[in-house]
Amino acid sequence: MADGPAAAAASAGAAHDYPTIDPTSFDVVICGTGLPESVLAAACAAAGKTVLHVDPSPFYGSLYSSIPLPSLVSFLSPDPSTPSSTAPAAASSGSHTVVDLHRRSVYSDAETSGTVPEPARRFTVDLVGPRVLYCADEAVDLLLRSGGSHHVEFKSVEGGSLLYWEGCLYPVPHSKQTIFIDTTLKLLEKRALYRFFTLVKEHIAATSAPADETGEVDAAATISEGNLDLPFVEFLTQQGLSPKMRAVVLYAIAMADYDQDSPDPGEKLIATREGIQTIALYSSSIGRFANAEGAFIYPMYGHGELPQAFCRCAAVKGALYVLRMPVAALLMDEEKKHFVGARLASGQDILCKQLIIDPSYKIPTLDVPFDDSDSNSLRKVARGICIFNKSLKQGSSNVLVVFPPKFSTLDLALEEQQVAAVRLLQLSSNLAVCPPGMFMAYLSTPCTDGSAGKQCIKKAMDALFSPQDSDGSEGHLETPSESTDDVKPTLIWSCVYVQEIAQGTSGSLLSCPMPDENLDYRNILESTKKLFADIYPDEEFLSRNSAPVHADDDSDSVE
């Protein structure tokens, strides 16, 4: 991977430094090598389509990149004085209208604190964190089907999940064994939680088993349709789960984003059906791979490896790749109002049947959803990155921590009440993202107000870490499963910022989804599959016979 991002396309060099692309016509032209774009490139190439995939940066990944830490601040806050790249004068495009293309700012309000430990370049930062893959996730299946699994390695999040509750970190029980060895649970809590998981397990088994001769499933073993349509929090209350156990299921297993006990939840309540689906994914992920201890895995060197893996798959199938190649303008058929190609920064015009554009591009004529003047109405996610000196869970390298909504209401006092969960993912040097002896963590929370979202991220950091100038006499983080006198890890450096989230577009010009607030890629991949179906409704999306054959193929290992 290249050392860092280019601040702007103009830094790529003079026009004569750009290569000439031959041929000049493709089925699909894709600008930007983010994960959705890369998956689409692999799918289109596997379907036998000609693909040109360009990126203005010298590295793969776009908004899904993993970059060296020294490059982070310039990536989040590009120099506004840097001019946008423009193509030199070119021959007339005939009946084509040239529509200028410009980048827009996706990140805002970046704020750093502390000093980065040396050597700073040993730290690699994900732009999409915190993010994991379930072992049974479709993203893993796509990597196996496409052959991308041979280009990326994974490690287990072996520390499992922890729930922050009333000032303590509690292990998240997810099976009979973990429930009954948990010394922090009361006997009644254990029994209620075990009964609930047994009910869910029977429902999953009954609904996934083949139906009988009448086409029906065993109704006695399933949860009724009425209960499946209930708000999940209401169903959990019916099952006798205590507030703490409801928080475990809702926020640390079913991964609900917003406060499920809110008096005015709107559309943010998850139904029992949705909660059960996520629990089923969680359960099926445990034990899928022999060397993965829990439900989650994480890519070595960061999530930027995933787009690279799919790009390699696309290249094997014939896709043409050109990095350091900005797209300066789009070509539109004036009569049909249909985009038919792109003008590159070199001045060369490339024609195509389908254009797919990185969502960080602003398209003036079709940019209603992305209009900066309406940025306050866009969904946002506040993100945080921090470096500290020891693990949050003794003996674990990688661990997920979940703060349920309202975890810091008392601390926030008169500030806006926290209505969304905050997630933190701790990573260690065994993932090659930081030097030995150091740890990194990513935090995120969805928000509509960036300032309030950043404040929640900072409150979560304050709850887990001591400032660097602490003498160790204050700030103890209680971990009931271990020592109650463990001193908090020392926060050495941190960065908090806001990222906007915009959905993709369809039509003659497709724009892929941005990184969202979720812990996994399910929604992003679902949107990507839909985009592919819109383009090629009769083609299979990354068919199972599209992957090259490898002699050492082993689907039972994550490495």
Please tell me the least confidently modeled range out of 426-440, 462-476, 516-530: 462-476
pLDDT tens, residue by residue, 506-525: 666 888 999 999 999 999 99
- Position 169 in a domain: no
pLDDT band at 468 (very low <50, low <70, confident <90, very high): confident
- Evaluate whether residue 377 is within a structural domain: no
Q: What is the CATH number of the domain that holds 259?
A: 1.10.405.10
**Tell me, what's the pLDDT at 522?**
94
At 416 the pLDDT is: 52
Write the DSSP symbol of residue 251.
I
274 and 332 co-located in one domain: no
- The span from the CA of 508 to the CA of 78, in Å, is 30
Is residue 522 included in any domain, yes or no? yes
| 181 and 260 assigned to the same domain | yes
73 C-beta neighbours (distance < 10 Å), count? 13
Co-location of 89 and 184 in the same domain:
no
Considering the chain, what percentage of its residues have pLDDT values greater than 90?
Answer: 64
pLDDT value at position 444? Answer: 97
- Please give the DSSP secondary-structure letter assigned to residue 269: P
Q: What is the pLDDT of residues 371-399, one digit of tens each?
A: 444 444 578 999 999 999 999 999 999 99
Q: pLDDT: is 41 or 554 the higher one?
A: 41
Range of the domain at 512: 9-104+301-371+504-540
Q: What is the pLDDT of residue 246?
A: 95
Structure-model confidence comparison of residues 313 and 208, the more confident one? 313
pLDDT above 70: percentage of residues in the chain: 80
Shared domain check, 255 and 311 = no
Of residues 168 and 506, more confidence is placed in: 168
pTM for the full predicted model: 0.87
Same-domain check for residues 268 and 306: no
Question: Across the chain, what does the average pLDDT equal?
Answer: 84
Do 362 and 510 share a domain, yes or no? yes
Same domain, 197 and 339: no
Q: Which two tokens stand for residue 217?
A: 């499933």
Residue 542: DSSP 8-state: T
Count CB neighbours of 537 within 10 A: 7
* Residue found by looking up tokens 């996610």 in the block: 381
Tokens of 83: 């001019």
| Average of per-residue pLDDT across 299-317 | 96
For the cut 50, the answer to whether the pLDDT of residue 92 exceeds it is no
Query: Do residues 371 and 481 lie in contact, with contact meaning Cβ atoms separated by under 8 Å?
Result: no
Is the pLDDT at 211 greater than 80, yes or no?
A: no
Among 17-26, 459-468, 484-493, name the one with the lowest average pLDDT. 484-493
pLDDT of residue 267: 67
Give residue 331's pLDDT.
Answer: 93
- 454 lies in a domain? no
The pLDDT of residue 222 is 86
Q: How far apart, in Å, do the first and last CA atoms of the chain sit?
A: 20
Q: What is the pLDDT of residue 326?
A: 92
Mark whether 280 and 308 lie in a shared domain: no
**Res 473: pLDDT:** 41
Residue 37 lies in a domain: yes
16: domain CATH number is 3.50.50.60
- The half-sphere exposure of 198 on its side-chain side, counting CA atoms within 13 A, is 10
Q: What pLDDT score was predicted for residue 406?
A: 81
Residue 79 belongs to some domain of the structure = yes
Q: Identify which has the larger pLDDT, 488 or 86.
A: 488
366 neighbors 504 (Cβ within 8 angstroms): no
User: Of 397, 461, 464, nearest to 429 (Cα)?
Assistant: 397
